[in-house]
Copies of this chain bind each other. A is one copy, B any other.
């Protein structure tokens, strides 16, 4: 197990889907940040189940409790403990999977790795675990806000429905105006229908989330192993269902010539060093160059289907299994705040690490 992430701004998460709750300890948050429960709660509300017709009907209020680390509304430099009690648990929904290895779930691998598993709701492998990440990310965001650094993410593809515009052509203030969290209303409508179609077919659908960090100072990223793309990729690939990560031009950029791909430097009107294009995605040599950090994460379709599937049980017997319980036909809309949170955590950590760069 490895339930900690970060070097200086470091989180440790815990909790299962059907235990007492989900939580996170933030160790290394600098002293003097104003943080309150409402701020964290707002982030959690964007991730919580039951928030819309597109998500699982499981109703979790996801009320965060701040257990330590604040005094008179500010961080004290001591560890911050955030706890989110579980509320709407129905363990009975999972008895039918107690002995089953659900296709493309963690049942089999956890069983073999640990010799046992908490099968209720997926236990620790449940995406419910990401609530802790979102709560911690909200604290990291406060540190970044001091630097004028903001992170936004949005759904850029659902199944074969792709957003036809790049982030610079979009109005990101529209992200929250629809259930899908896509800043392009026409595409959002198509995506919503696509998700509903999957749901109605008792099937599921995947997609892509694009993230953008603006106001990133030059100098974040620690070569040669903790380059910004490496730690950001690590962070995002640790999210349930993420199967791919790319930054800047990514896979598409492999088809450009070097003369097309290079980002020429120039001095802008304000006298700042800038690049004319941003195929680099805001990172050169693994270090932020002051341009927007832009990246994409691929989410596979949800593995739990409300239709029968062939698989085996832990006795090696062939069985047929259909999901019960309450599940999302598409995790993308709820994954947007998770992507933002992991990005915020990465950047907060790199900001602190960069303080040690010069004598």
Would you call B244 and A251 a contact (CB within 8 A)?
Answer: yes
Given contacts A300-B261, A355-B356, A359-B146, contact A76 B118 (CB under 8 A): yes
Would you call B312 and A253 a contact (CB within 8 A)?
Answer: no
Q: What 1/0 mask marks residues of chain A from 202 to 243 whose CB sits below 8 Å from any chain B CB?
A: 011111100000000011011111110111111101100011
Would you call B112 and A218 a contact (CB within 8 A)?
Answer: yes
Would you call B113 and A253 a contact (CB within 8 A)?
Answer: no
Would you call A250 and B358 a contact (CB within 8 A)?
Answer: no
Report the bound CA distance from A221 to B116 in whole Å. Answer: 16
A258 within 8 A of B: yes
Would you call B289 and A109 a contact (CB within 8 A)?
Answer: yes
A32 within 8 A of B: yes
Residues of B within 8 A of A238 (CB): 224-227, 229-230, 286
A292 within 8 A of B: no
Binds B, one of A39-47, A61-69, A167-175: A61-69
Tell me how far the C-beta of A258 lies from the nearest C-beta in chain B, rounded to whole angstroms. Answer: 3
Q: For residue A311, which residue of chain B has the nearest CB?
A: B265
Report 15 cross-chain contacts, Cβ distance below 8 Å, ordered by A residue: A2-B27, A67-B83, A77-B110, A103-B264, A109-B284, A110-B285, A113-B218, A125-B223, A229-B237, A243-B249, A244-B244, A249-B300, A250-B298, A251-B251, A261-B303
A12 within 8 A of B: yes
Would you call A318 and B266 a contact (CB within 8 A)?
Answer: yes
Q: For residue A132, which residue of chain B has the nearest CB?
A: B224
Report the bound CA distance from A20 to B286 in whole Å. Answer: 24
8 Å CB interface, A308-323 against B: 309-312, 316, 318
Would you call A254 and B27 a contact (CB within 8 A)?
Answer: no
Tell me how far the C-beta of A130 lies from the nearest C-beta in chain B, rounded to whole angstroms. Answer: 9
Name A359's contact: one of B15, B32, B107, B229 (CB within 8 Å): B32
Tell me how far the C-beta of A358 lies from the nearest C-beta in chain B, rounded to whole angstroms. Answer: 5
Residues of B within 8 A of A108 (CB): 218, 265, 273, 284, 289
Residues of B within 8 A of A287 (CB): 106, 109-110, 113
8 Å CB interface, A239-278 against B: 242-251, 253-259, 261-267, 271, 273, 275
Given contacts A105-B284, A279-B104, contact A25 B14 (CB under 8 A): yes
